[in-house]
């Protein structure tokens, strides 16, 4: 479990690409290595991966086919940076919102607006059916960052990003056309799906 409060960024230093399986090595800053051990869960751009091996500052992770196909981890190159969050521990401050680390889908950056200290990122979801879970002022996780939706237009949504987030994550380096990982808020999804099912059942009863 994670919160969407990114702990830091780390650089990809090696990628071993097999047909349906990738192993990649990330150079962790020392502060992210504290008490890290094999088998621990770590979020990379919001995607939960398991530590396979640790060699000084280098940490190795396996990426399965489903992750390669459905997240932006499959298109990473050596030298790229990823947002890193260590898993939530008992007693930690809950600063963002509850995130599972299971990516829902990807979205493409369609527009970037910079106005003084304001930074706005417009994203277009690759699966339009997900828009029913995206609400004004609702939670969404973008590349592992807990963010609030500020505007919605058809199959696109906008998030506004504060300077602190720009300086401590990779989001400020994104370009138009690049893919970002999105995780829909789990509780929002439950409410929408449950409400839809109840309305459908109610209509069915009225039509009998």
How far, in Å, CA of 117 to CA of 161, rounded?
A: 9
Instruction: Report the b/e string of 103-128 with b at 16+ CB within 10 A.
Output: bbbbbebbeeeeeeeebebbbbbeee
CATH of the domain at 21: 2.40.30.20
Q: Which domain holds residue 129?
A: 105-194
User: Residue 58, SS3?
Assistant: strand
Number of structural domains, the chain? 2
Instruction: Write down the pLDDT at residue 187.
Output: 84
CB 165 within 8 A of CB 98: no
116 and 161 share one domain: yes
How far, in Å, CA of 37 to CA of 59, rounded?
A: 10
How far, in Å, CA of 103 to CA of 144, rounded?
A: 9
Instruction: Write down the pLDDT at residue 197.
Output: 82
Consecutive H or E run containing 162:
none
Which residue, of 29, 51, 86, is where some domain finishes? 86
Instruction: Write down the pLDDT at residue 200.
Output: 73
Q: Is residue 21 part of a domain?
A: yes
Instruction: Write down the pLDDT at residue 120.
Output: 94
Walk along the chain (208 residues) in steps of 10 and give the mean pLDDT of each run. Answer: 93 93 95 94 97 95 94 95 90 78 95 89 93 92 95 93 93 95 89 83 68
Which residue, of 57, 86, 115, is where some domain finishes? 86
pTM across the whole model? 0.90
């Amino acid at each position: 479990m994670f919160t969407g409060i990114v702990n830091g960024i780390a650089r990809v230093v090696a990628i071993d690409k097999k047909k349906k399986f990738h192993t990649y090595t990330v150079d962790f800053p020392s502060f992210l290595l504290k008490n890290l051990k094999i088998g621990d869960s770590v979020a990379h751009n919001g995607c939960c991966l398991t530590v396979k091996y640790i060699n000084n500052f280098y940490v190795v992770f396996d990426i399965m086919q489903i992750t390669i196909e459905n997240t932006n981890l499959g298109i990473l190159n050596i030298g790229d940076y990823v947002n890193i969050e260590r898993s939530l521990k008992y007693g930690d401050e809950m600063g963002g919102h509850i995130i599972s680390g299971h990516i829902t889908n990807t979205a493409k950056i369609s527009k970037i607006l910079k106005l003084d200290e304001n930074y706005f990122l417009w994203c277009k979801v690759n699966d339009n059916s997900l828009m029913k879970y995206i609400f004004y002022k609702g939670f969404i996780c973008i590349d592992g960052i807990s963010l609030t939706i500020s505007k919605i237009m058809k199959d696109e949504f906008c998030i506004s990003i504060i300077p602190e987030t720009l300086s401590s994550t990779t989001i400020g380096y994104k370009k138009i056309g690049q893919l970002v990982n999105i995780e829909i808020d789990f509780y929002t999804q439950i409410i929408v799906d449950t409400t839809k099912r109840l309305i459908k059942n109610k209509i069915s009863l009225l039509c009998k």
